[in-house]
Amino acid sequence: MRRLLLLAGLTLGAVAWPASASAAVSLESAGTFTAPIYVTAAPGDSGRLFVVERGGTVRVRDLTSNTTLPASFLDLTAGGVSTEGEGGLLSIAFPPDYAASGLVYALYTPNGDTVRLVEARRDPADPNRTTGAPRTVLEIPHPTNRNHYGGQLQFDRSGRLYLSTGDGGAGGDPPNNAQNLGVLLGKILRIDPRASGARPYSVPADNPFAGQAGRRPEIWSFGLRNAFRFSLDRTSGDMTVGDVGQGDVEEVDFVRRASGAGAKANFGWRRCEGSLAYPVAVPPQRCGFASTLPVLERNHSTGDCSIIGGYVVRDASLQELRGRYVHADFCPGLLFSASLQTPTAQGDAPIIGTGLDLPDFSLVSFGEDACARVYAV
């Protein structure tokens, strides 16, 4: 049976896609967790799944025995994790050399005013837990508001770590953080998170703003409102970003690796909301400001409220969705797939593909395991 796996509500479950293309998609329960918010796996580790719980813990799901280990792999609660507003432990990521280095990175809010990236180390005596106090890699001030923290971590093939930050919250980005290249909010950042001498991390020399006065060298892309979830295609290296809209448009941005994978891309916020000029007028006006316009959009008039960016499916067994981008929206509880290679998207064009109705809960995230199976949380 071909499957798309799901972390649903407080339970880990599976969406089963039967052999018959005309048969209905179903859900299969596969475990219980507390406020799961992200899921991932270590490179090459096909036997375990790491489930991020918003309150500050990471649990291990043994895929061989279909059991959840009793002890946490990572527990940040002793140092404080704030779940106020949109905060919490938001995601983790394993570098390509995890098998040798044992390093894992976590992004969370220790309080409402800060977004913190830390590095933890696998216990040499027990691969199902980390040991010692995590090392702080980067702290980003996030004053005033308790929303729009961003929250995604993704490594590329070269071991560069990408992380997304929100614009600082409130409505309309009052400080214009997303367009300000002197601050780290409203961006996708790219760093080498390993300590370098006395520095807690280093900036790759080929980052687009490295060495430019008045511009933060960590910035990779900018002009984002709240890219809570983005992904790097494990096959092509293309970047796809789900950026949460203000009051009218939810957007998906797509940038090919061959054209820079988002380097120096300006996605337009706050001058644009999706492909529309912001503030959105009546009738709406097209936005000509952004360097990179969305490939897919959904309008709030359809009931959508918060795009949940996902992954391009590379699971060879899931033929019906292979090569298509799976994503969702928080409010209607629908799962969508779309072709990013031939998008129809500008204005209010509907997303190509079929919605999977998920009653009784809302989707909050996606992830992949080591076998390229896609998970929805």
pLDDT at 351: 30
CATH number of the structural domain spanning residue 223:
2.120.10.30
Instruction: Give the distance, in angstroms, between the CA of residue 285 and the centroid of all CA atoms in the same chain.
Output: 29
Number of compact structural domains in the chain: 1
pLDDT digits (tens, 9 = 90+) for 165-215: 999 999 999 999 999 999 999 999 999 999 999 999 999 999 999 999 999
Cα–Cα distance for residue pair 147/229, rounded to 1 Å: 14
When pLDDT is averaged across residues 90-107 and rounded to a whole number, the result is: 98
Three-state secondary structure string covering the chain: CEEEEEEECCEEEEEEECCCCCCCCEEEEEEECCCEEEEECCCCCCCEEEEEECCCEEEEEECCCCEECCCCCEECHHHCCCCCCCCCEEEEECCCCHHHHCEEEEEEEEECCEEEEEEEEEECCEEEEEEEEEEEEEEEECCCCCCCCCCCEEECCCCCEEEECCCCCCCCCCCCHHHCCCCCCCEEEEEECCCECCECCECCCCCCCCCCCCCCCCEEEECCCCCCEEEECCCCCCEEEEECCCCCEEEEEEECHHHCCCCCCECCCCCEECCEECCCCCCCCECCCCCCCCCEEEEHHHCCCCEEEEEECCCCCCCCCCCCEEEEECCCCEEEEECCCCCCCCCCCCCCCCCEECCCCCCCCEEECCCCCEEEC
**Parent domain of 110:** 2-376
Does the structure show a pLDDT above 60 at 354? Answer: no
When pLDDT is averaged across residues 228-234 and rounded to a whole number, the result is: 97
When pLDDT is averaged across residues 321-345 and rounded to a whole number, the result is: 79
Mean pLDDT of the chain: 88
pLDDT at 317: 79
Looking at residue 356, its amino acid is L
Task: Work out the pLDDT band at 37, boundaries 50, 70, 90.
Answer: very high
pLDDT digits (tens, 9 = 90+) for 236-262: 999 999 999 999 999 999 999 999 999
pLDDT digits (tens, 9 = 90+) for 15-29: 444 444 444 444 456
